[in-house]
Every structure is written in structure tokens, then in C-alpha cells.
Structure 1
Amino acid sequence: MADIPDRRALVRGAGALFAFGTLGVLALATYSVPSLRETPELASLPYAALVAIASVNSLLLLAVFTGAGALTAPRLDLDSHVFSWATGGDPDWSAFRRSLPLAAVAGVVLFAVIAVLDAAFAQFTRASLGELSAGSGALSDLYASVPMRLLYGGVTEEILLRWGVMAPVAFVVWWVRNRIGEPSAAPGETTMWIAIVVSAVAFGVGHLPALVSTVGSAPALIVRTVLLNALAGIALGWLFWRRSLETAMAAHAAFHVALVGVSAVLIRVA
């Protein structure tokens, strides 16, 4: 097992990931400003105030989850190059570069699989990726969402769900198994798969508020949203476990690149 950084190094590592994740929070907040202005009580507020309002909850969650991951991920040998760099370790950036083709392929394949499954669900939900992207001004809104998709989806969500949920869950399961069974020096595959699935389901559930606010809360839509996002979360969790947090980030970003590209084509031909 890798050496555990001291307390100050852990704080630096958590701070680095928090700063990295803040980029996504700000991208999401900026994207949210036009919808906030539609609220009469907020319409007269300055732009900076609206960004702050849209950011505060996400920043609090990010702080908690980066801290939780910093306390647990190093004990499980779960790798983050940014965290390693900030804690004074020796991040293997060459390994990350070698993982980028895998991340790109994984992201595109994930999109293709989920698009096919989404089409299969369409007969029950009466909605699909293409239909949800259609409408007046959809293309400009799609392009406006790109920074939010790449930075919040690709970076911040991975810090929250993989670093901040998957690592703590794996640590707790490992700790419990060591207390009730034969102790092990490192978590086994079963422990890691439990953590991957739990964080993946949390990833799917986390998409429900946006779904309910924009489309509705039909049971079929809820099942479809949780299931498809959980499927993506399982693949991203595996990449975090076997490669690094940044590899999962790159794959998540590649998924959104494919999504935006295909959605733009569908909107143009609609």
C-alpha cells in the first residue's frame, strides 16, 4: 500500500482537487444564470450575485466530498495525479497520457451504448436523447452547455462521485469486512465493486432533480435516467479504480463530446 500523506499534505491535496472542481461549479453556475433571471425575486440581482447563488451549494458539497476522498482514497491506493502532485508525491503523468486513448474510446463507446439503450426506452418514456435536445434555440443552448458539460460533468462530477463517494464507500466496506472477517491489507475486488456500484447508483440518482424540473417525474423516465447514468458510472468507476481519477474524467468528458456532436447533427437535420 502507498504511503499515506501527512495531514498538511492531505489538506493540500484536497485543496487542489477542490480548486479543480470549482472550475466545473463556476461553469454550471454561469450556465444557470439565464434560468435564475426568470425568477422575479432574482431578476434584478447583479450577474456576480447570481453566479454566487448558483455556486454556493455545489461548493459546499465539493468541499465535503474532496475532504472525504482525501481521507480515504490514499489508503485504498486509488490514484489521482492532481492529488499526488499537490501532496508532494510523484504523479505518473506519462501513465495518464498513455491512458487517454482508452479514456476517449471508453467515452465514445459508453455514449453509443447508452444512446442505443435510450432509444429502446423511448417507447416507454416517449423521450429520447434526440427529442430532448430538439426545440427552438436548441443548438445555441447546446453549444452554451459545452463548458458546463466538460468541466462540471467531466471534472466536478468525477471528484464528487468517484473521489468523494466511491473511495469512502470502499473504505467503509473494507473496514467493516476487516472487523467481522479475516483482516486484509488491501480491499478486495468485491469491496471495490460494491463501491463502484453504490457510487454509480448515486450518480444516476443525482441526475433526477434536473430531470424532474425539465421533463417530469414519470416512473419510466426515472428508471431510465438512473439506469443509464448508473451504467456510465460503473464504467467510470472501473477506470478510477484501475487507472486514475483523471482517466475517469477524460472518459466522462469524451462521453459529452460525443453527445454534443451527435445532438448537434440531430438538431440540424430535424
Structure 2
Amino acid sequence: MAILKQFGILFVLGSVGIAMVTITSIPMVEQQLAKLSPERLAEVPPLWILMLLQGLQLTVLLAISILIGIGCVYRVGLHSHLIDHWVFHTAKSPSFAGEIKWSLGVGAAAAIVLLLLDRLMQPVLPEALQAANNTEPTWLNLLTAMFYGGITEEILMRWGLMSLLVWIAWKVFKQGITLPSQGIYQGAIVLAALVFGLLHLPATAAIVPLTPVVIIRALLLNGIAGIAFGWLFWQYSLEAAMLAHISVHAFAFVLSLMLARFV
């Protein structure tokens, strides 16, 4: 019963992000279809089927990640406040207020660093990617980034992947008795962050060819963010990583609007 409760809570949260990213990606898919020749286009399924398949693929990945995390997270000393409270009925953590401050602080700092690095790399990026980066963000894009990036991606990357990497390394290297060693956590944080960066390449490839500079940019920006979120998951909770991820998008949105208007 506890497994079903854990799965249900995280699946509902993650599915909201999947629904939103599926809807907001329709224009990009339409642009890709418009580039196809009539002969090739005739072989492609209707748009609604493509979007359904995309949503189903992400839903399957979400379900797998949740199940992996259920099997690994608490075994390696990681945790979620939602699961603690709603499933295991543990008391609220006394450090929760400090956790929120850390998450918001890390999110604000990461947003500033990522925007600065992105601005510095602009001159060497392809024109199409520069144009995409300079497009004024919309509220719908912000909400999608906050729900899909801040919640769904954290379930996929931190709850699922990072916890699995920690558990595998712990069993293979046998470092730590009751819990893995710090080095295992740190290695898993970095590796999960690299995977996080690599998984952003397909979306970038839909805009421009993947040159070395484009790949380095994706790995650097997403890797920095992924390391920050992984550290918060390790030190605090899944919700700390989620809140930081959400706040990165929120702060970046506000800063981008300010730059677009005053710079």
C-alpha cells in the first residue's frame, strides 16, 4: 500500500508537467513537419498521434523513474517531505524553513550565473540559437518550465536516476556502512547532472545542428543547474531540488524580461 501511495503522489505531480510540455511543444512539432517534403509528410502520422506518442513516452519514463526511486531513495538516505508526511506520517522537519531559504537562494544564484554564461557565449552560437534565446518568454512557457522542469524532471533525474546511481555505486564500491560515502553521493550528483544536460540536446537539435560549441553550452548550463539541484536533494529533500529548479525558471524569466526591456 505504501508503494502505491508513493507512486500515486509522484505520478500525479509528474503527469501535470508532461501534459503541459506536450501541449506547448505542438508549435515546434508543426514547424518541423512544415520542413518535410510532401512525400515524406505523407508517411508521418497525424499531429495528434505524434503528440500522444510523445506524452506516452514521457509517461512511461516517469513511471519507471518513480518505481526506481521508490526502491532506492530511502535505502540510500535520501527522502521526500511529501512521502514522509503523506505516506509514512512522519513529523514536519524543523529545518523546513531553512531549506526553503537555501532552495530559493540557490535558485536565484543559479539563474544569474546561467544567464551570465549564456550571454557570454552568445557571440559564438549559431544565429538561429541566438534568435531563440533572445525571444521574449511567455507566461505559458514559464508555467510549463516550472511544472515540467521543476517537478517532472526532478522526479526523473533526481528521484529516479540520481538515487539509482548512488545505490549502484554503493553496492559496487561498498563505501559506507549504513549509508554511502560522500564521494558516492557527489559522483552521482555530477553524473546525473551530465545526463540532464545530454537530454536537453534533442530539443536544441530541433533548432540548430549540434556543433561542439552548442553541445558544450548545453552540458555546461544544464550541468551547473543539475549539480545544484542534486546537492539540494542530497542535503535536504526532493522538494528542495524541485523548489530550486522552479525558482531558477522564475528568476530567469523575470531577469530576461528586464534585460529585454532595459538593455
Q: TM-score, normalised by structure 1?
A: 0.84
> 1:32 aligned to 25, 36, 53, which one?
25
Equivalent residue, structure 2, for 1:156: 152
Question: Structure 1 residue 189: deviation in Å?
Answer: 0.2
In 2, Cα distance between equivalents of 1:55 and 1:176: 35
Question: Structure 2 counterpart of 1:251, which letter?
Answer: A
1:233, distance to aligned residue in structure 2 (A): 0.6
Which residue identity is paired with 2:190? V
- Structure 2 equivalent of residue 202 of structure 1: 195
Counterpart Cα distance in 1 of 2:121 and 2:133? 16
2:179 and 2:60 mapped to 1: Cα distance?
31
| Distance (whole Å) between structure 2 residues aligned to residue 204 and residue 44 of structure 1 | 30
1:264 CA displacement: 2.3
Does the Cα contact within 8 Å between 2:65 and 2:159 map onto a contact in 1?
yes
Question: Per-residue CA shift, 1:152-198, capped at 9, x if unaligned?
Answer: 011111110011110010001001122xx7x6111110110011011
Distance across 2 between alignment mates of 1:130 and 1:35: 17
Distance between the aligned counterparts of 2:241 and 2:133, measured in 1? Answer: 25
Cα pair distance change 1:219/1:85, threshold 3 Å: same
Aligned partner of 1:59 in structure 2 is 59
Measured against aligned partners, the alpha-carbon deviations of 1:94-119 in whole angstroms (never above 9, x if no partner) come to 64344222211111100111222223
| Residues 217-256 of structure 1: pairs in structure 2 closer than 5 A | 217-256=210-249
Does the 8 Å contact 1:37/1:43 carry over to 2?
no
Structure 2 CA distance for aligned equivalents of residues 262 and 244 of structure 1: 27
Further displaced range: 255-264 or 185-194: 255-264
Check whether the contact 1:130–1:263 (CA below 8 A) recurs between aligned residues: no
> How many residue pairs are counted as aligned between the two chains?
254
Structure 2 counterpart of 1:145: 141
> CA–CA distance in 1 between the matches of 2:231 and 2:167?
16
Which ranges in structure 2 are unaligned for 5 or more consecutive residues?
34-40
Q: Offset at 1:13?
A: 0.7
Counterpart of 1:232, as a letter, is: A
CA RMSD of aligned residues (A): 2.5
Q: Pick closer, same or farther for the CA change 1:235–1:45 going to 2, 3 Å.
A: closer
User: How is 1:4-23 mapped onto 2 (pairs within 5 angstroms)?
Assistant: 8-23=1-16
Kindly, what percent of the aligned residue pairs are identical? 30
Kept in 1: contact 2:128–2:208 (CA 8 A): no
Structure 1 residue 90: Cα displacement: 1.3
Q: Is the 8 A contact 1:36 1:43 kept in 2?
A: no
Residue of structure 2 equivalent to 1:101: 101
Could you tell me which residue of structure 2 aligns to residue 259 of structure 1? 252
TM-score where L is the length of structure 2: 0.86
Amino acid paired to 2:164 = P
* Aligned equivalent of 1:3: none
Shift of 1:236: 0.7
Question: Structure 1's 43 and 163: CA in aligned 2 closer, same or farther, altered over 3 A?
Answer: same
Q: Tell me the residue number matched to 2:36.
A: none
Q: Report the more deviating stretch, 101-110 or 161-170.
A: 101-110
Q: Hey, what does 1:72 align to over in structure 2? A: 72
